[in-house]
Amino acid sequence: QKGGYEHFMLKEISEQPKALKDTISPRIDESGNIKLDEFPTNFDNVNKIYIIACGTAYHAGLVGKNLIEKYAKIPVSVDIASEFRYNNPFIDKNTFMIIISQSGETADTLAALRLGRKKGAKILSICNVVGSSIPRESDYCVYTWAGPEIAVASTKAYTTQVAVLAMISLYIGKLRKTISDDEYTKVLNEIKSFPQKAESVLKMESEIESISSYIVNQKDVFYIGRSIDYYVAMEGSLKLKEISYIHSEAIAAGELKHGTLALVEDGVPVIALATQNRLFDKTLSNIKEVKARGGYVIAIAKKGNKEIEKEADVVLYIPEIIDELTAPLSGILLQLLAYYAAKKKGCDIDKPRNLAKSVTVE
Ligand code: F6R
């Protein structure tokens, strides 16, 4: 069933162009607009959105917040399900909750959904398993059509969750008239380019494999980035630690000098995401800070951004895409990096120790 791949994880990483296409295409109508039959058609009374999830799905949710606030202009809070429940969320009948879960069975996520429902929120879920508990208990569900995900580490669920969130942000923006027709069309065209650009990232496999050699024998790896790059850094770091057992941390690049920079010394690998054009100079100066302490910088930038080569030790380029939509592309790149680091260490990639695919205990 691994279709000739050594691990399910690599198979699932490679399936992403198709998973993205299957998730996006059926939701575009003949006139080129997004159609989400499974979505409410009126957002007039919604004054707040909570996005709730765990792990990788939470990281997709962070990207979703950025997109919804930009295009739909509604305040969004993103919470980890196991925290949300024990704090004091402001939920009432004008609250809209987006619950993200690949399996649809995560105990904490389901409990957060039930809490929201009890307090009168409308609930939309983004799930990958048809008929699982979370969609069954939601008012609406937009499925990611990624197909079964067998490896414990989530890959194609993440990129398709981001694709759905991007479509939702445009859809709500159009309903609320907070996005111009031109921008809507421009962003939607970029979303449609995900499958083909994901394919280009997959072609970098051998380059990424060789760069992974540098991190295999390291004790700590740091990931830095700003805004969407930071959210992708969190996902890249989680992927690396869970399958390779190398300690890693994601730091908002601007936070480095508020503490973590103390850990950067000769040879410490820092994976620096610098794909956001508007923040490029700022992240570049963080890269210089790392270099000045002897860190080894593996940078990720958009194609054509050659300036970074002067500062970083190595650079991996993702295809050109608007800043808001880089996550699936840099995400795939970091999935491959984690995969090859774990493979070189000889880890049990599809079944990392102590972890389960579906976390049904709180
Ligand atoms: C990491 C990973 C986990 C899951 C998390 C939520 O690679 O797979 O962090 O994302 O356990 O699971 P779901 O999405 O099924 O609710």
Does any ligand 1 atom lie closer than 6 A to the CB of residue 55? yes
- Say what the pLDDT of residue 152 is: 92
Phi, psi values for residue 76, rounded to 5°: -125, 135
**Per-residue pLDDT reduced to its tens digit, 202-232:** 999 999 999 999 999 999 999 999 999 999 9
Which of 8, 9, 54 gets mutated to test ligand 1 (max ligand atoms within 8 A of its CB)? 54
Beta-bridged to residue 126, according to DSSP, are 100, 142
Does any ligand 1 atom lie closer than 6 A to the CB of residue 57? yes
Rg (the chain; Cα; Å): 20
Atom of ligand 1 nearest to the CA of 54: 6
Alpha carbon of 174 to ligand 1 centroid (Å): 31
ipTM surpasses cut 0.95: yes
Does any ligand 1 atom lie closer than 6 A to the CB of residue 109? yes
Alpha carbon of 274 to ligand 1 centroid (Å): 26
What is the arithmetic mean of pLDDT over 47-74? 98
Does any ligand 1 atom lie closer than 6 A to the CB of residue 154? yes
**Per-residue pLDDT reduced to its tens digit, 230-254:** 999 999 999 999 999 999 999 999 9
Alpha-carbon distance 95 to 113, whole Å?
12
Give the residue with greater pLDDT, 3 vs 52.
Answer: 52
Q: Which residues contact 152 (CB under 8 A, 6 or more apart)?
A: 242, 243, 350, 351, 352, 355, 356, 357
Does any ligand 1 atom lie closer than 6 A to the CB of residue 242? yes
Residue 298 three-state SS: strand
CB-CB contact of 302 with 287 (8 Å): no
Does any ligand 1 atom lie closer than 6 A to the CB of residue 160? no
What is the arithmetic mean of pLDDT over 11-19? 98
Residue nearest to atom 10 of ligand 1 (CA): 56
Alpha carbon of 154 to ligand 1 centroid (Å): 6
Alpha carbon of 65 to ligand 1 centroid (Å): 18
Q: Does 304 have pLDDT greater than 90?
A: no
Alpha-carbon distance 293 to 322, whole Å?
32
Does any ligand 1 atom lie closer than 6 A to the CB of residue 101? yes
- Say what the pLDDT of residue 276 is: 97
What is the arithmetic mean of pLDDT over 7-19? 98
- Say what the pLDDT of residue 291 is: 97
Q: Does 356 have pLDDT greater than 90?
A: no
- Say what the pLDDT of residue 361 is: 85
Sign of the CA dihedral with 133 first, then 136, 141, and 147 last: positive
Q: Does 305 have pLDDT greater than 90?
A: no
Q: Does 362 have pLDDT greater than 90?
A: no
Does any ligand 1 atom lie closer than 6 A to the CB of residue 144? no
- Say what the pLDDT of residue 360 is: 86
Alpha-carbon distance 237 to 249, whole Å?
6
What is the arithmetic mean of pLDDT over 124-135? 97
**Per-residue pLDDT reduced to its tens digit, 154-185:** 999 999 999 999 999 999 999 999 999 999 99
**Per-residue pLDDT reduced to its tens digit, 74-96:** 999 999 999 998 999 999 999 99
Alpha carbon of 360 to ligand 1 centroid (Å): 11
- Say what the pLDDT of residue 42 is: 86
The catalytic residues are 357
pTM here? 0.98
Average confidence score pLDDT of the chain: 96
Alpha carbon of 293 to ligand 1 centroid (Å): 35
Alpha-carbon distance 320 to 78, whole Å?
28
Alpha-carbon distance 50 to 112, whole Å?
11
Q: Does 38 have pLDDT greater than 90?
A: no
**Per-residue pLDDT reduced to its tens digit, 187-201:** 999 999 999 999 999
- Say what the pLDDT of residue 84 is: 95
244: tokens are 């390779």
- Say what the pLDDT of residue 322 is: 98
Which of 359, 361, 362 gets mutated to test ligand 1 (max ligand atoms within 8 A of its CB)? 359
- Say what the pLDDT of residue 342 is: 98
